[in-house]
Amino acid sequence: MAEVILSGLTKSYGATQALKDVSMTIPGGAFVVLLGPTGAGKTTTLRLIAGLDKPDTGDIRIGGQSVLQETPAQRDVAMVFQQYSLYPHLTVRDNLAFPLRSPMIAMPETQIMQRVKDVAEVLRIPHKLDNKATALSGGEMQRVSIGRALVRNPRIYLMDEPLSSLDAKLRADLRIELKRIHADMGATFLYVTHDQIEAMTMATHVGVLDHGRLVQFGTPRQIYEEPVTTYVASRLGQPHINLLPADAFPGAPAKAAQIGLRPEHIHVGPTDAEGGQPATITRVEHLGDQTRLHLSLGPHSLITLTEPHTALKPGQTLHIRPHNPLWFDASGTRI
Binding site for ligand ADP (CB under 6 A): 13, 16, 18, 36, 38-44
Q: Which of 202, 201, 205 is nearest to 223 (CA)?
A: 205
**Cα-based angle 263, 264, 266 (whole degrees, multiple of 5):** 75
Which of 80, 96 has the CB closer to ligand ADP? 80
Evaluate the omega torsion of the peptide bond into residue 88 and state whether it is cis, within 30 degrees of 0: no
Cβ neighbors of 314 (< 8 A, separation 6 or more) are: 281, 282, 283, 284
Evaluate the omega torsion of the peptide bond into residue 239 and state whether it is cis, within 30 degrees of 0: yes
CB of 57 to ligand ADP, least distance (A): 16
CB of 27 to ligand ADP, least distance (A): 22
CB of 231 to ligand ADP, least distance (A): 14
CB of 212 to ligand ADP, least distance (A): 7
Q: What is the DSSP string of 179-211?
A: HHHHHHHT--EEEE-S-HHHHHHH-SEEEEEET
Which of 57, 137 has the CB closer to ligand ADP? 57
Task: Identify the helix (H) or strand (E) that includes residue 121.
Answer: helix 109-122
CB of 331 to ligand ADP, least distance (A): 23
Which of 13, 299 has the CB closer to ligand ADP? 13
Which of 41, 55 has the CB closer to ligand ADP? 41
Q: Which of 212, 211, 178, 181 is nearest to 195 (CA)?
A: 178
Which of 36, 325 has the CB closer to ligand ADP? 36
How far, rounded to the nearest angstrom, does the alpha carbon of residue 189 sit from its chain's CA centroid?
11
Task: Identify the helix (H) or strand (E) that includes residue 35.
Answer: strand 31-35
Contact between residue 53 and residue 11 where contact means Cβ atoms under 8 Å apart:
yes
Which of 231, 327 has the CB closer to ligand ADP? 231
Which of 36, 276 has the CB closer to ligand ADP? 36
CB of 147 to ligand ADP, least distance (A): 24
Q: Cα–Cα distance between 41 and 287 in angstroms, integer?
A: 33
> What is the dihedral angle through the alpha carbons of 307, 309, 310, 311, rounded to the nearest 10 degrees?
-170
Contact between residue 102 and residue 96 where contact means Cβ atoms under 8 Å apart:
no
CB of 310 to ligand ADP, least distance (A): 39
Which of 207, 237 has the CB closer to ligand ADP? 207
CB of 18 to ligand ADP, least distance (A): 3
Residue 143 DSSP label: H
Q: Is the dihedral of CA 83, 47, 53, 65 positive or negative?
A: negative
